[in-house]
Copies of this chain bind each other. A is one copy, B any other.
Amino acid sequence: MRLEIETDTDDLLSIKEFSKITGVETSTLRYWDEIGLFSPVKRNRETNYRYYSLVQIIALNFVTVLTDLDIPLKTVAELRDERDPEKFLDLMDRQEKKMDMEIRALRHRYSIIHARRELINSGLKVQEGQLSIEHRESMPVILWPPNVYSEDGDTFIETLAAFIPKTGQHNINLSYPVGGYFEKFDSFKKGPDKPDNFISVDPVGAHMIKEGDYLVGYTRGFYGEMGDLPIRMQTYIKEHDLRFAGPVYVLYLHDEICLIDPNQLLVQVIVAVAKKSHRKQD
């Protein structure tokens, strides 16, 4: 009797020994046993101890290879009982498609982080009170569909909110910084809280903020609030014998994502300028 037990368990391993050899935690082995995915070859009737055999590392490897590929245990269990080369290849195809989606999601996140970091960093270098002429490289943005304002005067936020449920249709992602677009400086001056379009700083954007010389100004405030910046910009233009030579872009360098107080957003307003021509003044 004693001998029989010995010969039975002599070559077998306790859960701890098996765990050390395979690198799979005892808690994991117990869980896989519990759900019927992978069980020890033997249980002691009295003590309920689990005993594994060395060849079980092969059966275990089937499980660990698939779980390392991030395949759910349920799928592993299904495949275990009917695996063949074709079914395995099918599973790999499906898994690769999932992974493709994960990769795309990750790239998307990198892109958002990059876009936001660029704006935040340029915001950190800013001298807020000053207006200046700067040469800017071209920069892609997404130009949203034109805004339509009702007579009772929708706010910036109301107009923006109306878009949110439709972002999917227009390939707009609100994780990128949002801004405003005014075709003419005049419309910016008259209604700085009513951009002709919203924009988002998304590298896949088809609209290009063109390379060139820009008058650049800053202010702080909530979305749509520009303070006296439009007037200051116009004054600057007159005093420096320049003219506006393109649309006005409003970029929120520091928005609610990195600031607690939404009334102190760091706003950058840029508009292309040229030397005043003597042919026409507009």
A residues with a Cβ closer than 8 A to B are 20-23, 54-55, 57-59, 61-62, 64-66, 68-70, 80-85, 87-89, 92, 95-96, 99, 102-103, 106, 109-110, 112-113, 116-117, 120-121, 123-124, 157-158, 160-161, 164-165, 167, 174-175, 223, 254, 256-260, 262
Contact = CB atoms under 8 A, between A and B. Distances in A.
Given A85-B123, A88-B258, A106-B102, A21 B59 contact: no
B58 A262 contact: yes
A195 to B, nearest CB: 16
Contact of A174 (B64, B110, B260): B64
30 contacts: A21-B161, A21-B165, A23-B164, A23-B165, A23-B167, A54-B157, A54-B161, A55-B157, A55-B262, A57-B160, A57-B161, A58-B262, A61-B257, A64-B175, A69-B109, A69-B112, A80-B260, A81-B260, A83-B258, A84-B258, A84-B260, A85-B259, A87-B258, A88-B116, A89-B117, A92-B113, A95-B109, A95-B113, A102-B106, A106-B106
Nearest to A176: B65
Nearest to A177: B65
How many copies of this chain sit in the oligomeric assembly? 2
Given A102-B106, A113-B92, A258 B69 contact: no
A23 B96 CA distance: 29
Given A57-B161, A69-B175, A88-B116, 18 more contacts: A22-B164, A23-B167, A55-B157, A57-B157, A58-B262, A61-B256, A65-B112, A68-B109, A80-B260, A81-B260, A83-B258, A84-B259, A87-B258, A89-B258, A92-B116, A95-B109, A103-B103, A103-B106
